[in-house]
Each structure stands twice: as C-alpha cells, then as structure tokens.
C-alpha cells in the first residue's frame, strides 16, 4: 500500500491542475505548424492587398510558415468577412478589414454574421488618412474659407466619393453635420471615376483616401484642403486637419487583421504581438509611410474595443443622415 504525505498530495494535485495550462502553452509556442490563410475581401491590386502582402511577408519570416493571401471579394467586403467569422478559431484563418467592417452593420441589417459577437480584432495594422480635395478653380483654400463659402452658398457644394456607405461618404456627412453646412453627396463606383469628374471640374469636392489622390495634387489638377484624421500625416505634415477648424472631427480608414471569435486568449495574444513586431519594424514603417499610411500594430484588446466603438459611431451618422444602400 502506498502512503503519500499531505505535501506530496498537494503537489500532485497542483501538477494536475497546471498540466492543461502547460500543454496549452506548449501548443501556442509551437503555433503555427502549417500555412496560415489571410483573407482579403477585395480583388488583387488595391491598397488593402498591398498592406496584406507587406504584413504576410513579415509574418512568414517570423513564423517560418507560408502566409497565403486569399482573395474573396464581394458584397461590400461581407463575403470575405463571413468566411473569417465562420472559420475554425485556431488562428489558421485570419482576415483583412477596413472601415467597411464597422459601417456595414448599420447599412446591411441582414449580415450573415454578427460583427460584435462572431469576430475579434487581432491587431490594427495601419491607419489611412482621408483627404478633402477641391478643384483648383474653387474659391477656397482652407477649411475656414470652405465653411464660410458653403454657408453663403448653401446649395453650391457637392462632394464625390468612391461610393455610398464608404468611410469617405460618412466623413462628408459628419463634416456637414458638425460644421452646420450643406454638402450634396455624389457616389461613384470607385475612386478612379470620382477623381476624373473632379479633375474635369464636374464636381467641386472629393473625399478620398489621401495616397490615392495626392498624385493629382502634385501635378496641380486638384488641391487638398484638409485631412479628416485626428493627427497630421507623417508623410505630409504640412496638410492641416479638419479638426483644427471643426473641433472633435475624426474619420480615418482603419486597416486591421481580424479573426473568428473564440480564439484561445494566449494564441490571440501571440498573433497580435507578432503582427505588432512586424508592423513596427523599420522596413514596414518606411513602406507604410511611403503609401501615406500610419503604422499602428495595436493589441487585440485595443482593436476589438475600437471596432465596437466605431460600429456605434457610424450607426449614429447613418441614422442621422438617413443613408441607405441602393
């Protein structure tokens, strides 16, 4: 017959309790042991794809496993996002997200997933600035002059965007509300046609991602009035902010990596930390800034909280402006 002292019994019990934690830690340490899929909800070639490829290259080096960029465009990013939401929560399927992630719940009441319940933010990797551009013929060069002109000519200003329900559309609605002016929204199917009508003088204003339209500013076919971000762009610090004239104004394109809800906390923390390490590397910081973006590399907790906050923020604007998809 075996006899165990109380101390030995205690140690054995403690070991049994700690065993699952030890095994889980070993599993996280060994992750990944196969390729990781990164779903991009757009066709190849756009800015989100560019960021995805930059990040995936860095993660492949760090993880010593392929990070496969998988394009699943359609339904205003919801097709690709739904694939992420419905995937196994083991970290092997992640997805790229932009501001549409937090706008869609207000515009598409029948989403096949619940953004707050079925998805988790892994890390916000970058922030792209929205710029307010004007045709060179317009008689204003800054926000103070634009607002004064709009108040004197209440039906004179319209603004183009890449489409209804985009972050740039809602930024325009927010500006009109906060500045007390009237702005007529003119939606286009993408940036290119909106830019061409701006250049042709058929629309006086354009809200667009900064790096997309800045080449037209450099060749004097547009002028940039201000940025919608809360901080000036590192790549273009000379451009003022809308918030410097309209206090509290803030609208940006948040580019991040999301995963399915239910991922083990330790694994989620590891993936988030690894993404942050890649994003903060000197090479990636330089490439992001060349693209007119600000690298972020936030924690999962911070990005998830930001997603929830932005869903509520955009919902209020959509409701106030009565925005509906065609």
Q: What is the pLDDT of residues 55-68, one digit of tens each?
A: 999 999 999 999 99
129-244, CATH topology level: D-Maltodextrin-Binding Protein; domain 2 (3.40.190)
Torsion of CA 164, 170, 174, 176, to 10 degrees: -30
Instruction: For residues 244 and 254, give the distance between their C-alpha atoms in angstroms, rounded to a whole number.
Output: 21
- Do the first three CATH levels of 36-127+252-321 and 129-244 match, i.e. the same topology? yes
- Please list, in sequence order, all residues whose beta carbon lies within 8 angstroms of the beta carbon of residue 22, skipping any fewer than 6 positions away: none
Model's pTM, two decimal places?
A: 0.86
pLDDT at residue 209 tops 60: yes
Please say whether the structural domain 36-127+252-321 has been given the CATH code 3.30.420.10.
no
pLDDT at residue 312 tops 90: yes
Mean pLDDT of all residues in the chain?
Answer: 92
Share of the chain above pLDDT 90, in %: 82
Where are the domains positioned within the chain?
A: 36-127+252-321, 129-244
């Amino acid at each position: 017959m075996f006899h165990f002292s109380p101390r030995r019994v205690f140690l054995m019990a403690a070991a049994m309790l700690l065993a699952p934690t030890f095994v889980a830690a070993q599993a996280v340490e060994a992750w990944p042991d196969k390729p990781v899929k990164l779903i991009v909800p757009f066709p190849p070639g756009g800015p989100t794809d560019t960021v995805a490829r930059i990040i995936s290259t860095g993660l492949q080096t760090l993880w010593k496993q392929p990070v496969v960029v998988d394009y699943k465009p359609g339904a205003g990013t919801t097709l690709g996002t739904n694939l992420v939401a419905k995937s196994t929560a083991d970290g092997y399927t992640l997805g790229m997200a932009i501001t549409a992630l937090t706008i869609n719940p207000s515009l598409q009441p029948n989403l096949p997933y619940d953004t707050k319940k079925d998805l988790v933010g892994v890390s916000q990797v970058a922030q792209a600035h929205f710029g307010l551009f004007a045709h060179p013929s317009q008689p204003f060069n800054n926000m103070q002059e634009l607002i004064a002109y709009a108040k004197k000519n209440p039906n004179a200003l319209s603004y183009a965007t890449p489409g209804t329900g985009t972050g740039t559309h809602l930024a325009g609605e927010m500006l009109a509300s906060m500045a007390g002016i009237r702005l007529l929204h003119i939606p286009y199917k993408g940036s290119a046609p909106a830019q061409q009508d701006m250049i042709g003088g058929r629309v006086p204003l354009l809200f667009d991602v900064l790096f997309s339209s800045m080449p037209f500013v450099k060749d004097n076919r547009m002028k940039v009035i201000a940025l919608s971000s809360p901080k000036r762009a590192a790549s273009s610090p000379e451009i003022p902010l809308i918030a410097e004239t309209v206090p509290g104004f803030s609208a940006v394109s948040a580019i991040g990596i999301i995963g399915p809800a239910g991922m083990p906390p330790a694994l989620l923390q590891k993936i988030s930390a690894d993404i942050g390490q890649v994003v903060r590397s000197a090479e990636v910081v330089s490439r992001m800034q060349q693209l007119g973006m600000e690298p972020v590399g936030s924690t999962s907790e911070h990005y998830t909280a930001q997603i929830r906050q932005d869903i509520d923020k955009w919902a209020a604007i959509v409701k106030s402006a009565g925005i509906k998809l065609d």
